[in-house]
């Protein structure tokens, strides 16, 4: 317990060390809402680092958020590889047609240079500017897509599963390219001022592959990759399940697990207790139409289930809150955290 | 019935371990006791149904559902080619990925339905409302299956449904946003929501009956 008000950084570091800070840290992982704040389209918003910096600063202040999120959109890495990104008026930019059409071309694929991509540079610029504002008070969370999950956008899920099962030579080569790129991209963000890296790895989730497959693939790749990232990492399954691999995750070197609303929060908290910090698990899709009462009850329930003892950051379950979630709901989440998230918190689950 | 369950157990094991050869052997054995359409309709759909349901319960992974569908489709194409007179005669049906290019879910449902003896057009991905309306009219589609990954696309189904009002075209949706908010399909005016391949078969067979 700590009665003195902490900075977001102190709050987050305390919970990561499995101790209780002044209150539950809140990571509202907002990307597109910055465009709404600035009154511009999503495409225009992501066209300049100044916009994203301003957006993140306003959102952090508005919702007492405990981080800046320097994430633009997932297919930004595909852009770096020369792939296509399609912007939408009311949703996150999406990857276009996969750029690896002929799987045999994987043998000649090379990782793109970080400093040769205009878009990646824009993220680094945003990170540096946010760092100037944050100092050592507010953590900045950067993002990478794991080497194991990136191929879904590079070549399409179906083809990827086929090479994973039947073309080990191409699979290994693709992982080699992606690991190099992922490590360079993560370390560039850390050098620019990011405090930690969120390692998005939905393909490793137990929704997509079995535990046995994970042990053979995603697990080994995560261990190799995370050990080369020069800063703390949080592994996020972007709404995928992870309870069947909960015992393996700490061995990958990650400090945090981003969990799904489809699994029991109490069970996950128990599985990760004193090993990993739990990040989650508000359902971002349903959140769009939560009433004030619902919001308060769901947030309170999550806090009382997972916050006692620290090792918990309240967040959504996907790593990005949909554009359609109204400001009112976000405000209600934030206010409920201020009201019920102050330690000491009594658990009604006895965990 | 007992025989069907026996073959289905064996086939399930072969699919989940990606043993194509073994699956082909089991299907050949089963073929000796029934016509191709019965094998497709009963044995294969029962097996894929069980695998889909096991995914729903968290006992198998999506990659196994997908690979089972792929193996199955390949084998069924051999015993029941697309133009086979044994295929089910039915109102026209199509499947598409609405507004993006994440094809996995669509491919799983496509394989499952084809392996169960249904014919359906694969319209691909990245299709928007107006393109879909044009295809629906041109191809005289009666049942349109839509696979969706992103929330905005799911919400845009509403506009598509409104523009197809009065045509009698049924829209069946599936995909992550509908799984995470189980009221969403009703909100956007879809005619049905299929959680998994098993439900997709159930919904389609019921709609086919209604449209007869």
pLDDT digits (tens, 9 = 90+) for B184-211: 999 999 999 999 888 998 999 999 989 8
Q: Are B184 and B161 contained in the same domain?
A: yes
3-state secondary structure of A277: strand
Q: Does B107 touch chain A (CB under 8 A)?
A: yes
Please, what is the average pLDDT of chain B? Answer: 90
CA-to-CA distance for B131 and B126, rounded, in angstroms? 10
Q: Are B66 and B140 contained in the same domain?
A: no
> Do B61 and A209 count as a contact with CB atoms less than 8 A apart?
yes
By the 10 Å C-beta count (0-12 exposed, 13-18 middle, 19+ buried), B148 is classed as buried
- What is the domain-level CATH number for residue B177? 3.40.50.280
Per-residue confidence (pLDDT) for residue A351, from 0 to 100: 45
Q: Does A216 touch chain B (CB under 8 A)?
A: no
Q: Are B23 and B61 contained in the same domain?
A: yes
> Do B103 and A157 count as a contact with CB atoms less than 8 A apart?
yes
Work out the pLDDT band at B45, boundaries 50, 70, 90.
Answer: confident
> Do B152 and A283 count as a contact with CB atoms less than 8 A apart?
no
Q: Are B51 and B145 contained in the same domain?
A: no
Q: What are the C-alpha distances in Å from B161 to residues A27, A214, B117?
A: 36, 40, 27
Out of B60, B155, B180, closest to residue A239 by CB: B180
Q: In residues, how long is chain A?
A: 351
Domain carrying residue B201: 93-211
Out of A97, A206, A209, closest to residue B101 by CB: A97
Q: Does B184 touch chain A (CB under 8 A)?
A: yes
Distance from CA of B109 to the nearest CA of A (A): 13
pLDDT, tens digit, for every residue of B61-116? Answer: 999 999 998 898 888 888 777 666 666 678 999 999 999 889 999 999 998 898 88
Distance from CA of A117 to the nearest CA of B (A): 23
DSSP A31: S
| Residue range A8-340 in CATH 3.20.20.210 | yes
Q: Are B117 and B191 contained in the same domain?
A: yes
CA-to-CA distance for B212 and B210, rounded, in angstroms? 6
Q: Does B58 touch chain A (CB under 8 A)?
A: yes
Sign of the dihedral defined by the CA atoms of residues A235, A240, A243, A244, in that order: negative
CA-to-CA distance for A189 and A121, rounded, in angstroms? 10
Q: Are B73 and B107 contained in the same domain?
A: no
Closest CA to A64 of A13, A15, A28: A28
In-domain check, residue B86: no
Cβ-based neighbour number of residue A68 at 10 Å: 29
φ, ψ of residue B174 to 5 degrees: the values are -160, 165
Q: For chain A, what are the domain ranges? A: 8-340
Chain A residue numbers with beta carbons less than 8 Å from the beta carbon of B158 are: none
In-domain check, residue B199: yes
In-domain check, residue B84: no
> Do B162 and B142 form a contact (C-beta atoms < 8 A)?
no
Residues 117-156 of B with CB under 8 A from A: 126, 150-153, 155
Does B49 have pLDDT greater than 90? Answer: no
In-domain check, residue B62: yes
DSSP A343: S
Enumerate the H helices of B80-196 as residue ranges.
104-115, 129-139, 151-163, 176-180, 184-187
In-domain check, residue B147: yes
In-domain check, residue B85: no
Does B38 have pLDDT greater than 80? Answer: no
pTM: 0.95
Q: Given the DSSP bridges, would you call strands A85-86 and A94-95 parallel, antiparallel or unpaired?
A: antiparallel
In-domain check, residue B36: yes
User: Helix A157-166 to helix B104-115 angle, to the nearest 10 degrees?
Assistant: 80
DSSP B116: T
- Among A32, A84, A93, A157, the residue to mutate for chain B (most B Cβ within 10 A): A157
Q: Are B144 and B41 contained in the same domain?
A: no
Q: Are B104 and B61 contained in the same domain?
A: no
Q: Are B126 and B188 contained in the same domain?
A: yes
> Do A314 and A24 form a contact (C-beta atoms < 8 A)?
yes
> Do A94 and B155 count as a contact with CB atoms less than 8 A apart?
no
Inter-residue long-range contacts of B190-197, CB under 8 Å, 24+ positions, other chains counted: B190/B146, B190/B157, B190/B161, B194/B109, B194/B145, B195/B56, B196/B52, B196/B53, B196/B55, B196/B56, B197/B48, B197/B49, B197/B51, B197/B52, B197/B65, B197/B69, B197/B108, B197/B109, B197/B112
Q: Are B101 and B203 contained in the same domain?
A: yes
- What is the domain-level CATH number for residue B61? 1.10.1240.10
3-state secondary structure of A143: strand
ipTM at complex level: 0.91
Question: Which residue is associated with the tokens 């879904």?
Answer: A152
A206, closest residue in chain B (CA to CA): B61
Structure tokens at A304: 């009382």
Greater confidence (B118 vs A181) lies with A181
Q: Are B48 and B145 contained in the same domain?
A: no
* Radius of gyration, CA atoms only, chain A: 19
Chain B residue numbers with beta carbons less than 8 Å from the beta carbon of A96 are: 101, 126
Point out the domain boundary residue: B44, B79, B114: B79
> Do B65 and B174 form a contact (C-beta atoms < 8 A)?
no
| pLDDT lower than 70: segments of chain A | 1-3, 348-351
Q: How far apart are the first and last CA of chain A?
A: 17
φ, ψ of residue A282 to 5 degrees: the values are -70, 135
Q: Are B16 and B73 contained in the same domain?
A: yes
Q: What are the C-alpha distances in Å from A200 to residues A138, A152, A237?
A: 21, 12, 6
Could you give the number of structural domains in chain B? 2
Per-residue confidence (pLDDT) for residue B76, from 0 to 100: 82
> Do B152 and A88 count as a contact with CB atoms less than 8 A apart?
yes
Per-residue confidence (pLDDT) for residue B115, from 0 to 100: 83
CA-to-CA distance for A302 and A78, rounded, in angstroms? 35
Taking residues B166-173, report their average pLDDT: 96
Taking residues B151-170, report their average pLDDT: 97
CA-to-CA distance for B26 and B4, rounded, in angstroms? 11
> Do A234 and A199 form a contact (C-beta atoms < 8 A)?
yes
Point out the domain boundary residue: B33, B48, B79: B79
> Do A91 and B103 count as a contact with CB atoms less than 8 A apart?
no
Chain A residue numbers with beta carbons less than 8 Å from the beta carbon of B103 are: 156-158
B69, closest residue in chain A (CA to CA): A158
Per-residue confidence (pLDDT) for residue B78, from 0 to 100: 81
């Amino acid at each position: 317990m700590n009665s003195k008000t902490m900075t977001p950084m102190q709050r987050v570091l305390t919970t990561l060390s499995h101790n209780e800070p002044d209150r539950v840290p809140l990571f509202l992982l907002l990307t597109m809402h910055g465009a709404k704040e600035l009154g511009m389209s999503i495409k225009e918003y992501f066209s300049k680092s100044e916009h994203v910096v301003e957006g993140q600063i306003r959102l952090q202040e508005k919702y007492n958020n405990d981080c800046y999120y320097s994430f633009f959109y997932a297919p930004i890495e595909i852009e770096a590889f020369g792939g296509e990104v399609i912007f939408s008026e009311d949703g996150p930019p999406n990857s276009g047609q996969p750029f690896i059409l002929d799987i045999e071309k994987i043998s000649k694929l090379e990782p793109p240079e970080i400093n040769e991509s205009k878009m990646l540079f824009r993220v680094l610029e945003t990170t540096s500017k946010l760092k100037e504002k944050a100092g050592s008070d507010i953590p900045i969370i950067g993002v990478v897509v794991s080497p194991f999950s990136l191929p879904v956008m590079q070549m399409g899920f179906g083809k990827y599963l086929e090479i994973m099962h039947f073309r080990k030579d191409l699979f290994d080569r693709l992982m080699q390219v992606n690991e190099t790129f992922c490590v360079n991209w993560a370390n560039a963000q850390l050098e620019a001022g990011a405090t930690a890296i969120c390692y998005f790895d939905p393909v490793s989730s137990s929704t997509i592959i079995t535990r046995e497959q994970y042990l053979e693939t995603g697990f080994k790749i995560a261990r190799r990759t995370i050990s080369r990232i020069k800063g703390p990492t949080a592994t996020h399954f972007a709404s995928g399940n992870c309870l069947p691999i909960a015992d393996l995750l700490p061995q990958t070197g990650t400090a945090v697990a981003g969990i799904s609303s489809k699994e029991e929060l109490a069970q996950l908290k128990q599985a990760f207790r004193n090993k990993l910090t739990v990040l989650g698990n508000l359902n971002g899709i349903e959140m769009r139409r939560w009433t004030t009462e619902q919001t308060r009850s769901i947030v309170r329930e999550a806090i009382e289930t997972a916050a006692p003892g620290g090792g918990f950051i309240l967040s959504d379950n996907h790593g990005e809150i949909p554009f359609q979630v109204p400001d009112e709901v976000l405000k209600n989440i934030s206010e409920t955290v201020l009201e019920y998230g102050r330690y000491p918190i009594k658990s009604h689950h006895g965990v | 019935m007992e025989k069907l369950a026996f073959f289905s157990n064996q086939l399930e094991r072969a699919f989940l371990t990606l043993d194509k050869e073994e699956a082909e052997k089991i299907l050949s054995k089963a073929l000796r006791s029934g016509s191709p359409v019965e094998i497709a309709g009963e044995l294969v759909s029962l097996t894929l149904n069980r695998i889909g349901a096991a995914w729903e319960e968290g006992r198998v992974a999506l990659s196994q559902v997908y690979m089972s569908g792929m193996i199955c489709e390949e084998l069924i194409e051999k015993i029941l080619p697309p133009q086979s007179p044994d295929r089910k005669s039915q109102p026209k049906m199509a499947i598409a990925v609405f507004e993006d290019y994440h094809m996995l879910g669509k491919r799983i449902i496509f394989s499952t339905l084809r392996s169960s003896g249904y014919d359906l057009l694969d319209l691909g991905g990245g299709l928007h409302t107006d393109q879909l309306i044009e295809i629906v009219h041109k191809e005289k589609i009666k049942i349109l299956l839509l696979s969706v990954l992103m929330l905005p696309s799911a919400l845009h189904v509403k506009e598509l449904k409104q523009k197809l009002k009065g045509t009698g075209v049924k829209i069946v949706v599936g995909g992550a946003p509908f799984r995470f908010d189980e009221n969403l399909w009703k909100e956007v005016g879809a005619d049905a929501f299929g959680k998994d391949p098993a439900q997709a078969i159930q919904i389609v067979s019921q709609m086919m009956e209604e449209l007869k």
